Amino acid sequence: MSLRIQKLEILLQGGRLPYNHPIYPEVVAEYKSRMAGYRGEKSLVFHLSMLPDEKYYIFHGIRLLYQGYYFQIDYLILCSAYALVLEVKNISGELKFEKDFNQTTCKKNGNEERIKNPVLQAKLQAKKLKGWLKEHNCTAIPIHYLVVNSNEKTTITSSSGNEQIARHICNSEDLIDKIDQIANFNKEEKLDSKEMKRIKRLLLSKHTPENPDILKQFNLSPSELLPGVKCPICSYLPMNLHNGTWCCPKCKLKSKTAHIPTINDYFLLVKPSITNAELRELLQIGSTSIASKFLTSMNLPFTGTYRNRVYHQPPKNQK
């Protein structure tokens, strides 16, 4: 799951954004849209598992820098003869591809609206990948692109004279057949085993996950978020601290570690560092010594002297 979705979940399911905040509906809409895309990509795992591991490398969500800008590919399939870019869509309704102006419309519940042409999106991603591989002195290979519709209830049509669109779009259940067709037309091996592995290492080493500033995106300040420790059982906010133990007024849960997810959420959502004073504000506690105990017990890396100490988010492999 992407960092963007994780941050949206902290705002919504984590209870940090008040329900009555004016921006709340917009955050919900963003979350639903991102989750639909995530579920669509996840649904392809079953189909892609049918591809032989000894022939194909499969990369999910690879994000690369090219000519000063990042581009991200939902799925990249690499073999010795070609590469295939998959643009996954989970759009309900009726998709229609118009020949004129390369427009795409989506009709749902009687309403029709124009959306971005996913085939052109996939084509652009393939073009960027080709340029990126050339920029990194990789052996040239054919790069194909395909839009995969993961929503079983979606119907796809094209206007007269635009039948060639079928070459670049399919439903998820037809994906493996499409890949087989592409493989039949690309039988000449372009990459040996050594070059395949080099490209794999290069892609993984240059992959840069997106880490968006969600608060900035929605013009939110940390002061607008609800503080306190959330109950891990009933989600009540805030829990109360008694003699070093967190107590939930609603379900009566008692926990000595309920503050840890709150601190980790702060690192992810607000900033990757925290001071004793900031922690006291976050957890709604007054004791400097208790806050210090919480921070030191997590073995967080820190900088500065005791009075001016700043604690930092641990590297991923330390969590």
Distance CA 245, CA 227 (A): 18
Residue 319's pLDDT is: 44
Q: What is the residue type of 161?
A: G
What SS3 state is found at 170? strand
Give backbone dihedrals phi and psi of 103, rounded to 5 degrees, phi first.
-85, 150
Buried-state track 213-246, b at ≥16 Cβ within 10 A, e below 16: ebbeebebeeeebebbbbbbeeebbbbebeeeeb
Q: Evaluate whether 265 touches 284 at the Cβ level (below 8 Å).
A: no
- Hey, what domains does the chain have and what are their CATH numbers? 3-206 (no CATH), 227-318 (1.10.10)
Q: Evaluate whether 127 touches 112 at the Cβ level (below 8 Å).
A: no
Q: Give, in order, the Cα–Cα distances in Å from 260 to each of 47, 173, 207, 227.
A: 38, 42, 29, 14
Residue 162's pLDDT is: 67
Distance CA 20, CA 282 (A): 20
Partner residues linked to 57 by β-bridges: 78
What SS3 state is found at 281? helix
Distance CA 86, CA 122 (A): 7
CB atoms within 10 A of CB 146: 22
Residue 277's pLDDT is: 94
In order along its 319 residues, the chain shows pLDDT tens digits of: 899 999 999 999 888 999 999 999 999 999 999 998 898 888 899 899 999 989 999 999 999 999 999 999 999 999 999 999 999 988 878 888 887 777 888 888 778 888 788 889 999 999 999 999 999 999 999 999 999 988 888 888 877 666 677 788 888 899 999 999 999 999 999 999 999 999 999 999 999 999 999 999 999 999 999 999 999 999 999 999 999 999 999 999 999 999 999 999 999 999 999 999 999 999 999 999 999 999 999 999 999 987 789 999 988 745 4
Looking only at the bridges linking them, the beta strands covering 143-149 and 83-89 are parallel
Residue 71's pLDDT is: 96
Q: The pTM is what?
A: 0.84
Distance CA 177, CA 296 (A): 56
Distance CA 71, CA 66 (A): 7
Structure tokens at 285: 């506690």
Query: Torsion-angle region of residue 101: left (phi > 0), alpha (psi -120 to 50) or beta?
Result: left
13's CB contacts (< 8 A; 6+ apart) are none
